[in-house]
A and B are shown apart, each in its own frame.
Chain A
Amino acid sequence: MIVPRLPVSAASLVLAFLLCTSIRLDAQQGTTPVAPSASAVTESELTELASADAAQTDISEIEFDAIVRVEVDTKQPNYRVPWNIGGMGSGNGTGFLIGKNRFLTNAHVVSDARLIYLKAVNQPQPYKARVLFVAHDCDLAMVELESEDDFEQAFKGIRPLHLGDVPKLNTTVVAVGYPVGGERISVTRGIVSRIDFRGYSHSAVDNHLAIQVDAAINPGNSGGPVLQNNQVVGVAFQGYSGDVAQNVGYMIPVPVIQRFLKDVEDRQYDYYVDLATSFLNMLNPAQRRAFNLPNDGSGVMVVHADAAGSAGGILKTRDVILSIDGHPIASDGFIEIDGERVDLNEVIERKFSGDTVAIEIWRDGRRQEVSVTLKRFIPYLIQAMQYDKQPNFVLFAGLQFQPLDRNVMGAHGITDLRTRYFYGFYSEDEIYRERPQVIVLTDVLPDSTNTHLQGYKHMVVDTINGKKIRLLQDVYDAFYGDFHEEGKEAYHVVRMIGENRPLVLMRKDAKTAHERIDSQYNVGFDHFIEQPEILQLKNLLQPNDAKAKETDAIKEGVKEAHENPSTPAGNAATDSPSEKKPILSR
């Protein structure tokens, strides 16, 4: 059975830790997954493995200079105090040369990086590098030295590593990198223990093929190659902490690496695609009889195809899918590829945005063939860790508004049940249709004008001044534009979902309070708004309420006072009134 998307708890991911070492100068952000703690390493295993096939452990053709130490200075954005610059820290991982001035490493090694340096074993000097592509959904990144001259000088004649294949179970592999315990390069050895789908803890929401090995893989190994017979068979990336398991490390296998490399060939990373469909196994004879299907052990039942997913509107609840791209589907949801039994999603895993997949379905007692064009599933991003981004917020008269996401939930320690519902069921209950962004009152900076409003923190905003809040931009527009509740022109009125007591401020007081609070709380800038990616789903979103015209007019007035930071790539323009560049004001 394929596990349904289970949004509320991240419990299954808690046990995974990432393997780059990290020193944080500022401990305020409790949410970053980078764990510097080393797991216990047992020494007893290695001797027994000495007799393993010598060819597998042969790394004689590998030049250690192709395996670099990645040193990173980071700046972690502060979702608790979003106008602050964020905590400075540093960490290191491993990377390796895969082509001319192309180094592969983990996304989590270079996430939120301010400065990146690469250092080879036999070089005294670190070289400044930058990220070319980063794939947070599969924890891979490609890095290059900023200066071609540096590369020519430092890596002249060094041969890049070559990718191998998926190693067989119980074969020996060698992990090379710069883990904790010393400065120089380190080599550890172990066997392939398991090949399975598993959560990638960097984003906290993605599942891909991963290979479990029992080689000692420790913080600092992240991004380093795992080798067999002089070829790369994986990238070391996460471990398993806790008391229940021992000698468990994970590497990203070659199919995932190759997919990443192919995806970026067009110099842009387009993310994994997703059917965004949940299935129920068809093992039960009564269930098979209900669908008039023979007891031949084939097919799984469609439970729900998310409207915003690739199969939305194509697959329906109670369809039975029989095959995918010609691979017959067993009643437990597995298919056979290259002689291996794998999850049916493996077909999707190997595809790219815009590809199609042919699905044979059983609907109303008849076989049918449907074609699904694959795309990224955007609503799940609300639960994904965000990196390399500046927190979006609006601060008005001490009221701090932020769009709900995983970082905001963690930074503010939100436990309000209703807000947890909006977070957990955003995809499943298609909350995004009505509220593409769920805006939360995350903080109230105390001031004489708002001192009674402290108790309303962490709730979801419904309307402000009569304007329905669908996007963060609406918060800004509602306060600064010509919006008011009928007969309450003298007030700003904020209404929360599930709370009948409105939050009210006198307009005339709010303006002076705003300035006073900004100065007293050292607020560098009072809002930062970007277009969220969810707006790409414009056909699914309910139209904004009236008064769009007025909003446009207000924007003109607002814009001149602001400078525009760069727009993040990939944001499609939409027809909503928030079609505008992000605003950063001082």
Chain B
Amino acid sequence: MISPRCLTVFSFLFLALSLPAVAQKSSPAKSIVRVNATLQDYNFIRPWEKGAPVSRRGLGALLEGNRVLVTAEMCANSTFLELEHPSSGARGTARIVGSIDYEANLAVLELVDKDSKALEGLQPLALDESVVPGDTLEVWQVEDNGDGVSTDVAVLRVDVGRYFIPDSVFLLYQIKGSLQARSNSFTLPVVKNGKLAGMLLSYSSKEQTANVLPAPIIHAFLSDLADGKYEGFPNLGVSIAPTLDETFRKFTGIEDQKGGVFISKVVKGGSADTAGIREGDVLLSISGKPIDSRGNYDDPKRGKLSFSHLVRGGAKVGDTVSAELIRDGKPLSLEVRLTRKNPQDFLIDPYMFDRGPKFLIFGGLIFQELTLPYLESWGDEWTNRAPFNLVYSAADPEKYEKEGRKKLVFLSTVLKTPSTLGYESLSSIIVTKVNGRAIRDIRDLAAALSTPPPDNALHTIEFESYPKVIFVEDRLSRMVDQQLIQYGIGQLMRLD
């Protein structure tokens, strides 16, 4: 079943914390930094514009080396970042170190001016990765006056779940406890024995429960970042179905096995695909850890945990894991070299930050590459409100991938100009060819439109659906483009 991917808006604020590893006893006021961010999102409907800047205040955790750990969400599409001393209030401009990982929802900041006093006298936090269900942790906050506050919370369970990007899941701690909103937000450092155990992501005041982004993921992120070449968390690239159904187990020939999950989908070009895992296989174990019929393995410390943690919980891109499978009733062992598919590697980018949507304006025709954020700009109900042909192509892109397309180029809207007379009402149509050339991405389109066809200087633009084909004049379109610039459209294209 194709389920609509929804970007749930967290009803909580995010703070980042940091805790470094030092022998002295740390305390909230000594290891937390305020983070002031100014964010400015790109406008996906009018891609030459950016939206209104918004300010956001949060907390970061100080790490070794005067670096401050924050959630990626705190810095998404940031235009200005600032660190602020919790008690003195000294401020310093900050910048992102290395890469942001939006999937793992983590980023590290450092001061631009090393002489700034924003971190003066603060002590770094070390990481504690030993958390198990039943532990008591402290959530750290800072009052307006700079005093630290610590609240005890209990770890209910350890599981995997989503952080920030809808289809991306990682290890999570679920905690329970009563927290108060203080001056900033609810993204707070969570501490065990004076060491950073994780960062609080979201808090439900009704349930009094919260999710914590745990130290093992922070650790993996930091060590990836350390070598200066950030590669990100690997992905197996499969969808699974449980095998609790006894009839189905018999049918698949795994009734004598202990567990196993059915591989219902294999992402083209992903780790599993490259390793030779096929749809219809049953996955029995990864790295020697047996997987039960729900898709969990037995973690010695944490209890039952989704097998995805075996891939995303610390393994690195380039690592190899072993997989035991059943195919057509017979056992099969494969070595899977773990890779990562970046958002740009998908036909439809699942998310896009810190760069604008790619587009091209030609005589008032506005072309774009389709991305999920474009569809999500229709709001929470985007699967019902966005143009259905685009929603469906995003949900089922295989047909277009098979055609050899790298991106889906579509006519998003038409500005009324002398060149687009009669075409004003067209919108949301997928482009197939321009002047006879197949359009696989926006660069193809730019190239196809760059020179007027010699015979009549008319560009022929073909679409997948209504109106199938339109024609525009080369010279008139270019004149119109110049006028559009005069009217204030800052740029006619963004191809990178």
Q: Mark A residues whose CB is within 8 Å of B.
A: 1, 4, 8-9, 278, 280-287, 289-290, 301, 303-304, 317-318, 331, 415-418, 420-421, 424, 428, 449, 451-453, 455-456, 458-459, 488, 491, 493, 496, 498-502, 504-506, 509
Asked if A417 contacts B465 (CB within 8 A), the reply is: no
Which stretch in B63-71, B112-120, B139-147, B468-476 binds the other chain?
Answer: B468-476
**A286-B473, A303-B467, A456-B1 in contact; A281/B422 too (CB < 8 A)?**
yes
Is the pair A317, B1 in contact by a Cβ cutoff of 8 Å? no
Instruction: Give how many A-B residue pairs fall within 8 Å (CB-CB).
Output: 120
Asked whether, in the complex, the Cβ of A286 is within 8 Å of the Cβ of B458, the reply is yes
Tell me the residues in window 400-451 of chain B with beta carbons closer than 8 Å to chain A beta carbons.
419-423, 425
B10 at the interface (CB under 8 A from A): no
Task: Flag the segment in B175-183, B207-215, B244-252 that touches A.
Answer: B244-252
Q: From B391, which residue of chain A is reached at the shortest CB distance?
A: A417
Please measure, in the bound complex, the distance between the C-alpha atom of A501 and the C-alpha atom of B282, giving whole angstroms.
Answer: 11
CB of B456, distance to nearest CB on chain A (Å):
7
* A289 and B471 form a contact (CB under 8 A): yes
Q: Are A501 and B262 CB-contacts (below 8 A) given A289-B471, A303-B466, A417-B395?
A: yes
- The reply to whether B247 and A455 form a contact with Cβ atoms under 8 Å apart is no
Q: How far is the CA of A1 from the CA of B424 in the complex (A)?
A: 11
- Please give me the 8 A-B residue pairs with the lowest Cβ-Cβ distance, nearest first: A283-B422, A452-B245, A290-B471, A280-B467, A4-B466, A284-B422, A8-B388, A501-B241
State the CA gap A425–B332 with chains docked (Å).
41
| CB neighbours of A304 from chain B (8 A) | 466, 468
Q: A280-B467, A500-B279, A506-B247 given as contacts; is B392 within 8 A of A417 (CB)?
A: yes
Instruction: Say whether A284 contacts B251, CB under 8 Å.
Output: no
Residue in chain A with minimal CB distance to B262: A501
Give the chain B neighbours of A493 by CB distance below 8 A.
251
Chain B 375-405, CB within 8 Å of chain A: the 1/0 string? Answer: 0000000011000100110011000000000
For A506, what are the chain B residues with a Cβ–Cβ distance below 8 Å? 247, 250
- Of A1, A9, A416, A502, which contacts B425 at CB under 8 A? A1
In the complex, what distance in Å separates the CA atom of A416 from the CA atom of B392? Answer: 10
A498 to B397, CA, bound (A): 12
Contact A287 B470 (CB under 8 A): yes
**Further contacts, 5 of them, CB under 8 A, given A290-B456, A303-B468:** A287-B471, A303-B467, A415-B4, A417-B2, A500-B280
B43 at the A interface (CB under 8 A): no
Interchain CB contact under 8 A, A491 and B251? yes
Are B247 and A505 touching (Cβ within 8 A)? yes
Q: Which residues of the other chain, B, contact A280 by a CB distance below 8 angstroms?
A: 422, 466-468, 470
Cβ contacts under 8 Å, A283 to chain B: 421-422
Contact A285 B421 (CB under 8 A): yes
Q: Is the CB of B473 within 8 A of A285?
A: yes
The answer to whether the Cβ of B265 comes within 8 Å of any Cβ in the partner chain is yes
B257 beta carbon closer than 8 Å to chain A: no
Q: In the complex, which residues of chain B have a beta carbon less than 8 angstroms from the beta carbon of A278? A: 466-467
Known contacts A283-B421, A417-B4, A421-B392; A500 and B264 CB within 8 A of each other: yes
A318, B422: Cβ atoms under 8 Å?
no
CB distance from B422 to the nearest CB of A (A): 3
Q: List B residues at the A interface (Cβ < 8 Å).
A: 1-2, 4, 241-242, 244-245, 247-248, 250-251, 262-265, 279-280, 383-384, 388, 391-392, 395-396, 419-423, 425, 456, 458, 460, 465-473, 476
Q: Which residue of A lies closest to B470 (CB)?
A: A287
Q: Which residue of A lies closest to B2 (CB)?
A: A417
Write out the residue numbers on chain A whose beta carbons fall within 8 Å of the beta carbon of B279: 500
Partner of B247, one of A285, A491, A498: A491
Q: Flag if B421 contacts A284 (CB, 8 Å).
A: yes
Closest to A331 in B: B422
Q: Chain A residues near B247 (CB, 8 Å)? A: 449, 452, 491, 504-506, 509
The answer, among B248, B383, B460, B468, for a CB contact under 8 Å with A504, is B248
A289 — which chain B residues lie within 8 A by C-beta?
456, 458, 471, 473
A residues less than 8 Å from B388 (CB atoms): 8-9, 420-421, 424
Question: Which of B264, B383, B419, B469 is the one whose CB lies under 8 Å from A417?
Answer: B383
Q: A303 CA to B426 CA in the complex, in Å?
A: 13
Residues on the A chain within 8 Å of B467, using CB: 4, 278, 280, 301, 303
Which residue of the partner chain, among A4, A284, A290, A458, contacts B460 with CB atoms under 8 Å? Answer: A290
B2 touching A498, Cβ below 8 Å: yes
Once bound together, how far apart are the Cα atoms of A285 and B248, in whole Å? 63
Q: Report if A428-B251 is in contact (Cβ < 8 Å); known contacts: A284-B423, A290-B456.
A: no
Taken together as a complex, chains A and B put the C-alpha atoms of A491 and B250 apart, in Å, by 10
Contact (Cβ within 8 A) B383 A415 = yes
21 A-B contacts (beta carbon < 8 Å)? A278-B467, A281-B422, A284-B420, A284-B423, A285-B421, A286-B419, A286-B458, A286-B476, A317-B468, A317-B469, A416-B2, A417-B391, A452-B247, A491-B247, A493-B251, A500-B262, A500-B263, A500-B264, A501-B262, A504-B248, A509-B247
- Closest partner residue, chain A, to B251 (CB atom): A504
Q: Contacts A285-B473, A452-B248; is A418 near B396 (CB within 8 Å)?
A: yes
Contact B469 A318 (CB under 8 A): yes
Select from chain B the residue with minimum beta-carbon distance to A458. B1
Q: Kindly list chain A residues whose C-beta atoms are within 8 Å of the C-beta of B419.
A: 286
In the complex, what distance in Å separates the CA atom of A101 from the CA atom of B231?
83
A488 touches B422 (CB 8 A): no
In the bound assembly, the distance between CA atoms of A420 and B393 in angstroms comes to 12
Complex contact B1–A416 (CB within 8 A):
yes
Cα–Cα distance between A247 and B229 once the two chains are bound (Å): 67
Report the Cα distance A1→B473, complex, angstroms: 21
* Neighbouring B residues of A449 by C-beta, 8 Å: 247
Q: Please name all residues of chain A whose beta carbon is closer than 8 Å to the beta carbon of B242 when the two chains form the complex.
A: 452
Docked Cα-Cα span, A424 to B392, in Å, equals 11
- Residues on the A chain within 8 Å of B396, using CB: 417-418, 421, 498
C-alpha gap A320/B6 in the complex (Å)? 43
Contact of B1 among A284, A491, A499 (CB under 8 A): A499
Query: Does the CB pair A287–B422 fall under 8 Å?
Result: yes
Bound state CA distance, A371 and B262, in angstroms? 57
Report A-chain residues with C-beta under 8 Å of the C-beta of B384.
Answer: 415
**CA A500 – CA B473 in complex, angstroms?**
48
Q: Min CB distance, B347 to chain A, in Å?
A: 16
Cα distance A287–B472 in the bound complex, in angstroms: 7
A284 touches B469 (CB 8 A): no
Question: Are B1 and A455 in touch, CB under 8 angstroms?
Answer: yes
Q: Given the complex, which residues of A lie within 8 Å of B1, measured CB to CB?
A: 416, 418, 455-456, 458-459, 496, 498-499
Give complex CA distance A455, B244 in Å. 13
B469 contacts across to A, CB distance below 8 A: 317-318
How many Å from the CB of A425 to the closest CB on chain B?
8
Distance (Å) between the CB of A75 and the closest chain B CB?
A: 31
Q: How far is the CB of B106 from chain A (nearest CB, A)?
A: 32
Q: How far is the CA of A8 from the CA of B279 in the complex (A)?
A: 31
Most chain B beta carbons < 10 A, residue from A8, A456, A459, A493: A8
A502 to B264, CA, bound (A): 10
**In the bound complex, how far is the Cα of B264 from the Cα of A452, in angstroms?**
15
Closest-CB distance, A454 to chain B (whole angstroms) = 11
A289→B473 CA distance, assembly (Å) = 9
Instruction: Check if A418 sits within 8 Å of B251, measured CB to CB.
Output: no
Return chain A residues, CB-CB under 8 Å to B458.
Answer: 286, 289-290
Nearest neighbor of A503 in chain B, beta-carbon distance:
B248
Q: Do the beta carbons of A499 and B264 come within 8 Å of each other?
A: yes
Q: Residues of B contacting A424 with CB < 8 Å?
A: 388
Q: With a CB–CB cut-off of 8 A, which chain A residues contact B248?
A: 452, 501-502, 504
Select from chain B the residue with minimum beta-carbon distance to A504.
Answer: B251
Task: Give bound CA distance, A553 to B352, whole Å.
Answer: 59
Q: How far is the CB of B370 from chain A (nearest CB, A)?
A: 15
A500-B471 contact given A286-B419, A449-B247, CB 8 Å threshold:
no
Which B residues lie within 8 Å of A415 (CB)?
4, 383-384
- B392 partner residues in chain A, CB cutoff 8 A: 417-418, 420-421
Q: Residue on B with the closest CB to A281?
A: B422
Q: Which of B383, B391, B471 has the most CB of A within 10 A?
A: B471
Contacts of A456 in B (CB 8 A): 1
The closest CB in chain A to the CB of B395 belongs to A417
| Partner among A282, A455, A496 whose Cβ is within 8 Å of the Cβ of B422 | A282
